[in-house]
A and B are shown apart, each in its own frame.
Chain A
Amino acid sequence: VKEQPFRNAAGGLIDRNQPLEFSWDGKVLPGFAGDTLASALLANGVHLVGRSFKYHRPRGIFGAGAEEPNALVTVGTGGRAEPNLKATQVELHDGLIVESQNRWPNLRFDVGQVIGLVSRFIPAGFYYKTFMGLGFMGLGFMKPGRSWMFYEPFIRRAAGLGKSAIEPDPDNYALRHAHCDVLVAGGGPAGLMAALEAARSGARVVLIEDAPKLGGRALMTRSRIGGQTGPEWVESCRAELSGFRDVRILTRTSAFGYFDHNLIGALERVTDHQPMPTPHAPRHRRWMIRARQVVLATGGLERPIAFGGNDRPGVMAASAAQTYANQYAVRCGNLAVLMTNNDAAYDVVHDLRAANVDVDVVIDVRPNGPGAPQRERLQAAGVDCLKGYGIVDTLGPGRVRGVRVARLDEGGRAIKGTIRRIDCDLVLSSGGWNPAVHLFSQSTAKVQFDDELATFVPGKPVQATWNAGGAAGEMTLAAGLAGGMRAGAEAASACGFSTSGTGTIPACYEESGEPLQPVWLIEPPQGWHNKSFVDFQNDVTTADVVLAARENYRSVEHLKRYTTLGMGTDQGRTSNVIGLAVMAATLGRPVQDVGHTTFRPPYSPISLGALAGPATGAHLTSTRHTPMHAWHVENGAQFVPAGLWLRPQAYPRQGESMRDAWLREAVHVRKAVGLVDVSTLGKIMVQGTDAPEFLERMYINRWKSLRVGRCRYGIMLREDGHVMDDGTTTRVDENTFYMTTTTANAGPVMVHMEYHADVVWPELDVHMTSVSDQYGAMALAGPQARAVLQGAIDGTGSRKSDASRTDAGQIDHGEVDASRVDASRVDNAGTDVSDAGLPFMGFARATIAGCDVWLFRMTFSGEMAYEVHCGANDAMNVWMALMAAGKAMDIAAYGTEAMSILRIEKGHVVGAELDGRTTPGDFGFNAMMRKDSDFVGRRALDRAALARSDRRRLVGLKPVDGRSSLPRGGHLVADAMAQAPNVTVGHITSQTFSPNLGHPIALAMLSEAELRMGSTLYAVAPLHNVTVPVEVCEPVFIDIQGARPRG
């Protein structure tokens, strides 16, 4: 086992029986199971771990957890390489491969550090001012605002974080939904107490902990809790919690978002800690947990004090060094200096000394120093205390080798003549603690400033939220334990569980101390210009904040965006409060008046894979197949998505292009016969004695007068008078209607009708059932359609013997009994499909290939056509029977593209025209609109805007030259040469090349259509630089009289 020079021989919670090796920038280093990458690096004496975002300054490990701003690394290789992970949160495993980032050619000799030499000339706002105006260094050849486009790639290359993998991600990711009574976010002392108290009451509890082990601060404290060591107490809590059937403990899981209705998002890292991921296991699992009550026990984040040179490797948060010493048996240095403004930080001195780190002096910025207990302990340990002093600079080169300290005047500024040097290789800073209020803030609740803690604490909750421990501002261990127990009990009680007398608060001892003195930064002596950083990750200095305030960016939100303070993966964990305080001081206002930025999810980075979950590649959305899909595949169909459906776009033959295929299909339908799969239509069975009345209220048409066995085309409006959908409805019997909707609107129409039936007119006896998937449907179209159908219909009236087959339809309604059901079956033998037997817009039953079918004489293509609907199980048989019957007449399947050509040729409207902005009158449908009774949307049609005579109406277009393609989505103008803004008088909704006419055609919506009929306009698409003169014509190009479908 290789030596780890800064690892103590004993102590810590690492497993020394499991030595590990990992690669750091190509160098193999040792560690132990239980280490984080950061603790292992420090154990090996590695402090330089990264280069800063903007100035490429050398940076070291600052924290010990999620608060780490500097140590961002790339973990893994190939498709598993993930940048910007915090070394403090990466669990060490054997074979871990880690690279530093934002450096070239290597971390120690990074070329980018030359930027640091000119850093004083590139403060906050430099890029905005320099590269977003007319240009830089005379390179103002670009138009204003465009120069950024030129410079951006260079700037991004020089400044930035890691690079994401290019290869496909080999891992899979999962989503998991969960519910609980009480969710506890944070498994530290307060969280454990809250979870225990809630669990003991019988509540269903989910406990989330970011780290691999429960315990948080209790794992690193040397205080005894309830007579046990911290780790012993944690283990006893874990054991008790594990004994409850309704408690779920999620470790290695970060609560990243607090959403509406107490929905918590959490990321579980399932296999990241494994050298070889468990087969089939997801790498990350995203939990979406709906909790009745939420306890936020997310702890506190130690706040540093800003001072000159505070970003040098070897400068750390005091509690971080304490964690490394106690939990990982790692010495972050040999000789430490602590600067603090509070008594709590003094424990760090004694813990470090116990871990063989010398601490000769403590610098307390308070004039009177610590309270008596800490003063006496310090004296007993032989440690000096410089009261009223502050650090004004750190000494290098490279890692810190000493500090300069100076006495502070009453304003907190260092006094020049008092400067002295102290040698050290570790500088610790503690400016107090900030509650981790991120999740609380995400819940839309506000934070408020606490004068005693000199920080923002949770205000009044908006959702069912309780705060406990450090997150609530209860910064001592004892207060956290008590607060956790209280929050757990109150949360459980709010869920209706009794918690009286079920637990006790474990005793622990902590020194009481002098109050904290709010000190945010050590003002350098007059004339000093060394940088003191507020936000390490974004290279924001105190001078940047002052500059922003001076340039009148006085809102905290503006400050954030101008300086980038609090952005990135850091989210201001260590920087926000200091930045706000510096700004407040500059503006001469109290910190609470400056306010706080709003935290947004995610609290900590979440992998894109986890956000996507299983919805990747072909699984991005679900896919719907029609019953005949396999036939389409077998016969060479090329598919196109139609919503979730896959529909045949065309059936290209060998050597045939798709365009040629659909043109051929469109011609074939007009000349012979074609069959198209229309199973995707929405199908709704409307039943009830009030069904006719209901339909009259939902549609603009008349339905009471529709005879049984007849179909009618209907238009449905939204409440605002615009067309919602169209389709045909057939009266199957007196009180049963079979409605079809467009494919896209099947769901919305069902919802629309159910809403009105259940909420608006509950007195009506009407019920809807979606039968979209019960029936397959196909349209047989063309001059030979009738002949094919006649040939396919069974003449014997044979019925399938399979008992599960039904007579394709609604079974019955009313007072049904078995005998009536049987009696309702009809003999469909030899159904007459002649004009007399099945006239246009008529309905009949038949059997084809032994399967019961419904026949509808209606057309979308404009040809003689029949829709054939049948049970989905039978649809393939019926389809193939029709193809077989049509073989002699050269029947061919056609796809959606030919279907679209045919309907444009006939001027039939679809979603492109029914785009939510059109009324029935825009299509000339006023004649079918009832005038004597009300329907949904009727009142709105009287509004002036919908009744204007110059509304755009449906017209047809033909290119004047008879050959130019009409631009998709093009606009219509009267004068193509007019200066901008050239007023548009209409727009193209559908366009195609008509193979039956031999030239392009289009449908368009045009204002003053009657006046412009026959005139020439211009179809323009400025983005494509296309202008086509067009003739305005009627929107029906073929069979204008409509004779073909009627036979």
Chain B
Amino acid sequence: VAESQAIASDMTAFYAVDWREGSFGNVIGSPGVVFSRTVPTAIVEVIVRRGADGERALKHLPAPGTVIHKKNSVLIWTAPRRFVAASSRDDVQTLSAKWSKSAGAGGYVTDLSQARWGVRIAGEAAVELLAKGCPIDVERMGANSAAATVCEGMPVLLHGVPGGALAFDLYIMRSYASSMFHWLTRSAAEFGYELR
């Protein structure tokens, strides 16, 4: 078993995501896009039940198209009564417990910590890059905005990261990771990009 695990650890968990730090593409001065990895320690989906309890709970949860930051995590609206919570501090048990409580009686929490691959997209061409693949109005997304959409046909969850120049966190189902990575880097080449 130990031998097996040693071999397995040599194999990337995300096949063909060849993340080599450095600058690539048409970099003149600073790169237009900066990619950095986002590796939350836990991601859960929170579903709020219908009914009075659910309605009360929704008042404290993000409005459609937005996110809130609290409890060491970010809660992202994804669809009516549906949210994704991600944390870089809590483990999944802790995160689940916190948001189960917030979702009110009858809220449902499901672990998706191993189901997603995430990347932070920053830089002055970040919007231009995402607008290549996302049919939604990315130019109007601001800090703490969120959208469950598609990028180059792949389902993604996007949210605007507050602080400084606008950046985006993009989450995608892990099985799409290599396709998304290749699309991101290929599409960012005209702006110049850095893998950080």
- Whether A751 is near chain B, meaning CB under 8 Å from some CB there, is no
Q: Give every chain A residue within 8 A of B173 (Cβ-Cβ).
A: 624, 772-773
In the complex, are the beta carbons of B132 and A175 less than 8 A apart?
Answer: yes
In the complex, are the beta carbons of B139 and A804 less than 8 A apart?
Answer: no
In the complex, are the beta carbons of B190 and A811 less than 8 A apart?
Answer: no
In the complex, are the beta carbons of B154 and A803 less than 8 A apart?
Answer: no
In the complex, are the beta carbons of B50 and A765 less than 8 A apart?
Answer: yes
CA distance A543 to B8 in the complex (A): 77
In the complex, are the beta carbons of A623 and B178 less than 8 A apart?
Answer: yes
Given contacts A619-B186, A881-B1, contact A876 B8 (CB under 8 A): yes
- Whether A842 is near chain B, meaning CB under 8 Å from some CB there, is no
In the complex, are the beta carbons of A631 and B13 less than 8 A apart?
Answer: no
- Whether A671 is near chain B, meaning CB under 8 Å from some CB there, is no
- Whether A341 is near chain B, meaning CB under 8 Å from some CB there, is no
- Whether A822 is near chain B, meaning CB under 8 Å from some CB there, is yes
Instruction: Report A752-765 CB contacts with B as 1/0, cut-off 8 Å.
Output: 00000000001001
CA distance A939 to B58 in the complex (A): 38
Q: Give every chain B residue within 8 A of A871 (Cβ-Cβ).
A: 113-114
CA distance A299 to B189 in the complex (A): 37
- Whether A813 is near chain B, meaning CB under 8 Å from some CB there, is yes
Identify A619's interface contact among B108, B175, B182, B192, CB under 8 A. B182
CB distance from A760 to the nearest CB of B (A): 14
- Whether A880 is near chain B, meaning CB under 8 Å from some CB there, is yes
CA distance A625 to B175 in the complex (A): 5
CA distance A884 to B3 in the complex (A): 9
- Whether A178 is near chain B, meaning CB under 8 Å from some CB there, is yes
How many chain B residues touch A (Cβ–Cβ < 8 Å)? 71
Identify A806's interface contact among B49, B92, B138, CB under 8 A. B92
CA distance A288 to B133 in the complex (A): 11
Q: Give every chain A residue within 8 A of B4 (Cβ-Cβ).
A: 849, 877, 880-881, 883-884
Of B38-46, B59-67, B160-168, the segment with at least 4 beta carbons within 8 Å of chain A is B38-46
Q: What number of residue pairs across chains A and B have CB atoms under 8 A from each other? A: 197
CA distance A599 to B140 in the complex (A): 34
CA distance A872 to B7 in the complex (A): 16
Identify A621's interface contact among B14, B16, B153, CB under 8 A. B153
Q: Give every chain A residue within 8 A of B186 (Cβ-Cβ).
A: 172, 614, 619
B:150-196 near A, CB below 8 Å: 152-154, 173-180, 182-183, 186-187, 189-190, 192
Q: Give every chain A residue within 8 A of B138 (Cβ-Cβ).
A: 177
In the complex, are the beta carbons of A622 and B153 less than 8 A apart?
Answer: yes
CA distance A625 to B11 in the complex (A): 13
Q: Give every chain B residue within 8 A of A813 (Cβ-Cβ).
A: 106, 108-109
In the complex, are the beta carbons of B111 and A774 less than 8 A apart?
Answer: yes
In the complex, are the beta carbons of A804 and B91 less than 8 A apart?
Answer: yes
CA distance A635 to B132 in the complex (A): 37
Given contacts A280-B190, A624-B176, A806-B92, contact A817 B113 (CB under 8 A): no
CA distance A625 to B174 in the complex (A): 8
CA distance A876 to B97 in the complex (A): 28
In the complex, are the beta carbons of A814 and B106 less than 8 A apart?
Answer: yes
- Whether B145 is near chain A, meaning CB under 8 Å from some CB there, is no
Q: Give every chain A residue within 8 A of B135 (Cβ-Cβ).
A: 177, 288, 290
CA distance A880 to B49 in the complex (A): 40
CA distance A803 to B41 in the complex (A): 8
In the complex, are the beta carbons of A811 and B111 less than 8 A apart?
Answer: yes
Interface residues on A, range: 35 or more
- Whether B143 is near chain A, meaning CB under 8 Å from some CB there, is no
CB distance from B141 to the nearest CB of A (A): 11
Closest to A765 in B: B49
CB distance from B190 to the nearest CB of A (A): 5
Interface of chain B, main secondary structure: mixed
A:156-178 near B, CB below 8 Å: 172, 174-178
- Whether B94 is near chain A, meaning CB under 8 Å from some CB there, is yes
Given contacts A614-B186, A630-B15, A873-B13, contact A773 B111 (CB under 8 A): no
Closest to B136 in A: A177
Given contacts A624-B175, A625-B15, contact A884 B1 (CB under 8 A): yes
In the complex, are the beta carbons of B91 and A803 less than 8 A apart?
Answer: yes
Instruction: Report A768-796 CB contacts with B as 1/0, cut-off 8 Å.
Output: 01011111000000000000000000000
- Whether A449 is near chain B, meaning CB under 8 Å from some CB there, is no
CB distance from A566 to the nearest CB of B (A): 33
- Whether B137 is near chain A, meaning CB under 8 Å from some CB there, is yes
Q: Give every chain B residue within 8 A of A633 (Cβ-Cβ).
A: 15
CB distance from A179 to the nearest CB of B (A): 4
- Whether A810 is near chain B, meaning CB under 8 Å from some CB there, is yes
Closest to A281 in B: B190
- Whether A605 is near chain B, meaning CB under 8 Å from some CB there, is no
In the complex, are the beta carbons of A614 and B50 less than 8 A apart?
Answer: no
Closest to B81 in A: A767
- Whether B69 is near chain A, meaning CB under 8 Å from some CB there, is no
Considering residues B44, B116, B173, which has the most beta carbons from chain A within 10 angstroms of its beta carbon? B173
Q: Give every chain A residue within 8 A of B179 (Cβ-Cβ).
A: 619, 622-624
- Whether B131 is near chain A, meaning CB under 8 Å from some CB there, is yes
Q: Give every chain B residue within 8 A of A818 (Cβ-Cβ).
A: 93-94, 97-98
Closest to B8 in A: A876
- Whether A688 is near chain B, meaning CB under 8 Å from some CB there, is yes
CA distance A816 to B107 in the complex (A): 8
Q: Give every chain B residue within 8 A of A998 (Cβ-Cβ).
A: none
- Whether A576 is near chain B, meaning CB under 8 Å from some CB there, is no
Identify B8's interface contact among A175, A614, A822, A880, CB under 8 A. A880
CA distance A850 to B9 in the complex (A): 14
Q: Give every chain B residue within 8 A of A765 (Cβ-Cβ).
A: 49-50, 106
Given contacts A771-B110, A804-B92, A811-B111, contact A622 B97 (CB under 8 A): no
- Whether A812 is near chain B, meaning CB under 8 Å from some CB there, is yes
In the complex, are the beta carbons of A872 and B11 less than 8 A apart?
Answer: no
In the complex, are the beta carbons of A281 and B26 less than 8 A apart?
Answer: yes
- Whether A627 is near chain B, meaning CB under 8 Å from some CB there, is yes
Q: List 14 A-B contacts (CB under 8 A).
A: A177-B131, A622-B152, A622-B179, A623-B178, A626-B175, A765-B49, A765-B106, A769-B45, A774-B111, A804-B91, A818-B94, A849-B1, A872-B115, A873-B13
